[in-house]
Amino acid sequence: MRSAAATTMGAFADPREVQAALKPAQANPPIAISADGDKGIWIDYLSDTGDGWDSTYSMALCVSQSVKPAGADQTLPAGQVLLLGGDQVYPTPAQGGYRTRFLDPFRSALPAPVLNNPNANSKQVVPIRKAPLMVATPGNHDWYDGLRGFSQLFCNGDPVGGWITRQRTSYYVLKLPGGWWIWGLDLQLESAIDRPQREYFEQMAKELGPDDRVVICTPEPSWVDEAERVKRQSRVALRSLETQTPRFRSLSEVEQMLGPRLALVLAGDSHHYARYEPAPGIAAPHRITCGGGGAFLHGTHELPDPPEPITVAGEKQQYRLAQAYPDKSTSRRLRNRACLLPFGNLSLCSLLAAFYLLCIWVIESASKVRHPELGAKSLMENLSSLELTAGHIGEALRCLFVVAAHSPSSVVLALLIVCGCGALSAAGVNRAGRLAFMAGAVHGLLHLLLAAIILWFMGRMNVFHLGMDTNDLGQVGLFILETLLLGGALGGLLFGVWMVLTNAAWGLHHEEVFSSQRIPDYKCFLRMHFEDGRLTIYPLKLEKICRHWSLATNGVEFLARVKRTYKVRATPAAHGPRFVPAEGNAKPADGLQLIEPPIVVARTGARYEQARL
């Protein structure tokens, strides 16, 4: 509901235009970043945070400190700037989402100094020498309250723990030494760039030198959708009049402003790592998706390789998938684990169990009305006389049809289940949506068939073998318990197997097959070094997050635990993170590894190369 409201209201009252009116371009200059001596500038890129505590806090710890990847002989200093690539909160900012899912873990990972006077104003800020900067790009989840929470958090100049914030709008420009720039775009929900934002970047483009290079941070990898659209168009005889996907059109407008000065495009939204590099002889930027900041994992096995050429400013750009994490074989293996859904997602299976109980209860209650074809018996009593064999399936279905034909509520509930499953399969499908809906409808019919089999089993067991009366309270209690257990377990198994099979065969449920598993591992972020006219990108992965924490002993006092939240108090002498891995658990930073050798981007010319540590 929040997504629909934000999309609808955003079409009539764009909050980006309100921001631009309050803070025009002349009052929103580029944020200048100074180099740390002759060491250059280190900048981190982290996207899709704000979901589970364990994964988000693990990644917040990693970006708050220096790290030495396994097998490397170089220590990578903590970033002077933390770029947040979007979706800082899940699922919405409502009910204090930013505080519990973003602020708490980041403030705990890099806390601000504590005042010496405990009676002082709690909002008073203790100055931090050389405090790192935090800038953020809003994702679709940040937009679900019309950017209200995002603006209050990132655009008011208030610190986030030991990080400071200086951006004034949801889009920004960073000016780095050596001719490097970083542009953060806000292209969410309506997926179109607003006029004030376009004019702002047009003005920023006038400040670029001929040899300057720009890194763009955009909310989503719209180039993948654009490549898929081109692929679909090549398969039809009559091509659509639409030349580009709405999501990619706005990005390409900004890219056209920059031309050959564009060096790199970064995006989140997809919760994995994927780097597309231009084909040999093609002057185009690298495009990297890195959404491993803390949300559930997305698979990589469906990423196009190579994608169809995309067109920017009339020039075709051909790419190849240079690296993906997790790799495609691992992604397929993780996808197949959805078959074990009853063991990995109790809440979803509990919801399915409730639907099975409602469906079976409605159909059994409807059969209490006397009907001559059922011999004045309920459906459960009729099924109890039939052995659970394939030869009796026809008679069982006939009894079920007789009851449903005289029960409008049963028909409506069945249609809701069938159409709901069809809509779920068709969601996000750009081509052959009707076929996807029909496939999903079959999924719904299978659930109805399984519900009938469960009812048949209970009739055979409770009435025939145990000799219980269907109206007996003991039988009713056993009926409810059996329905919940069998519906949750078998329904979850059917749901998981169906998602795996249809994803492998037709690419359906590409998000649900992973989101239902809630895989917190396989995290990633980028540590970038701007020095000597070149950009070096270190893609880092954390295969296993820490799941067990202890309260730090460095000046932190434990007060109380309120539900699932810890209340802690820190003394002025406190330093370091508020929580540390429990005994026997490694620090998250100790488990970091390079996804691939560092990528080096030269500032002069459109030259890209790969280097090894």
Place of tokens 């009910």: 95
Instruction: Please indicate, yes or no, if residue 312 is contained in any of the structural domains.
Output: yes
Say whether both 85 and 72 belong to one domain: yes
pLDDT, averaged across the chain = 85
Reported as a single tens digit per residue, the pLDDT across 207-236 is 998 888 999 999 899 888 888 888 877 766
Say whether both 315 and 376 belong to one domain: no
pTM to 2 decimal places:
0.88
What's the confidence (pLDDT) of residue 428?
74
Say whether both 427 and 572 belong to one domain: no
| Residue 211, number of CB atoms within 10 A of its CB | 12
Say whether both 270 and 135 belong to one domain: yes
Say whether both 352 and 276 belong to one domain: no
pLDDT band with cut points at 50, 70 and 90 for residue 196: confident
pLDDT band with cut points at 50, 70 and 90 for residue 613: very low
Instruction: Please indicate, yes or no, if residue 68 is contained in any of the structural domains.
Output: yes
| Residue 450, number of CB atoms within 10 A of its CB | 18
Averaged pLDDT, 114-140: 75
Reported as a single tens digit per residue, the pLDDT across 484-498 is 999 999 999 999 999
What's the confidence (pLDDT) of residue 180?
92
Reported as a single tens digit per residue, the pLDDT across 565-600 is 667 888 888 888 989 999 888 889 889 999 999 999
Residues 482 and 468: their CA atoms lie apart, in Å, by 14
pLDDT band with cut points at 50, 70 and 90 for residue 5: low
What's the confidence (pLDDT) of residue 121?
55
Reported as a single tens digit per residue, the pLDDT across 320-371 is 999 999 999 999 999 999 999 999 899 999 999 999 999 998 888 888 776 6
pLDDT band with cut points at 50, 70 and 90 for residue 123: low
Task: For 131, list phi and psi in degrees, rounded to 5.
Answer: -65, 140
pLDDT of 434 above 50: yes
Instruction: Please indicate, yes or no, if residue 119 is contained in any of the structural domains.
Output: no
Beta strand ranges found along 151-230 (DSSP E)? 172-176, 180-184, 213-218
Say whether both 287 and 345 belong to one domain: no
Q: Of 278, 207, 206, 219, which is closest to residue 250 (Cα–Cα)?
A: 219
Token readout for 351 is 């919801």
pLDDT band with cut points at 50, 70 and 90 for residue 606: very low
| Residues 139, 124 contacting (CB under 8 angstroms) | no
Instruction: Please indicate, yes or no, if residue 288 is contained in any of the structural domains.
Output: yes
What's the confidence (pLDDT) of residue 564?
65
pLDDT band with cut points at 50, 70 and 90 for residue 119: low
pLDDT of 183 above 80: yes
Instruction: Please indicate, yes or no, if residue 286 is contained in any of the structural domains.
Output: yes
Higher per-residue pLDDT: 607 or 138: 138
The domain spanning residue 266 has which CATH number? 3.60.21.10
Say whether both 526 and 470 belong to one domain: no
Provide the number of structural domains found in the chain.
Answer: 3
pLDDT of 53 above 70: yes
What's the confidence (pLDDT) of residue 204?
92
Q: Which domain does 411 fall in, by range?
A: 341-515
Say whether both 283 and 241 belong to one domain: yes
| Residue 557, number of CB atoms within 10 A of its CB | 11
Instruction: Please indicate, yes or no, if residue 277 is contained in any of the structural domains.
Output: yes
What's the confidence (pLDDT) of residue 16?
63
Residues 19 and 10: their CA atoms lie apart, in Å, by 13
Say whether both 204 and 318 belong to one domain: yes
Say whether both 368 and 507 belong to one domain: yes
Query: Which residues neighbour 324 within 8 Å (Cβ) at sequence distance 6 or greater?
Result: 272, 273, 274, 275, 300, 303, 331
Instruction: Please indicate, yes or no, if residue 333 is contained in any of the structural domains.
Output: no
317 membership: H or E segment, kind and range: strand 315-317
> Is residue 137 exposed (0-12), middle (13-18) or buried (19+ Cβ within 10 Å)?
buried
Averaged pLDDT, 176-182: 91
What's the confidence (pLDDT) of residue 191?
61
**% of the chain residues with pLDDT over 90:** 39
| Residues 299, 510 contacting (CB under 8 angstroms) | yes
Say whether both 275 and 218 belong to one domain: yes
| Residues 87, 134 contacting (CB under 8 angstroms) | no
One-letter amino acid of 178: G
Say whether both 302 and 387 belong to one domain: no
pLDDT band with cut points at 50, 70 and 90 for residue 409: confident
Residues 329 and 371: their CA atoms lie apart, in Å, by 56
Instruction: Please indicate, yes or no, if residue 332 is contained in any of the structural domains.
Output: no
Compute the C-alpha angle 55/61/67, nearest 5°: 120
For 484-518, give the secondary structure using H, E and C.
HHHHHHHHHHHHHHHHHHHHHHHCCCCCHHHHCCC
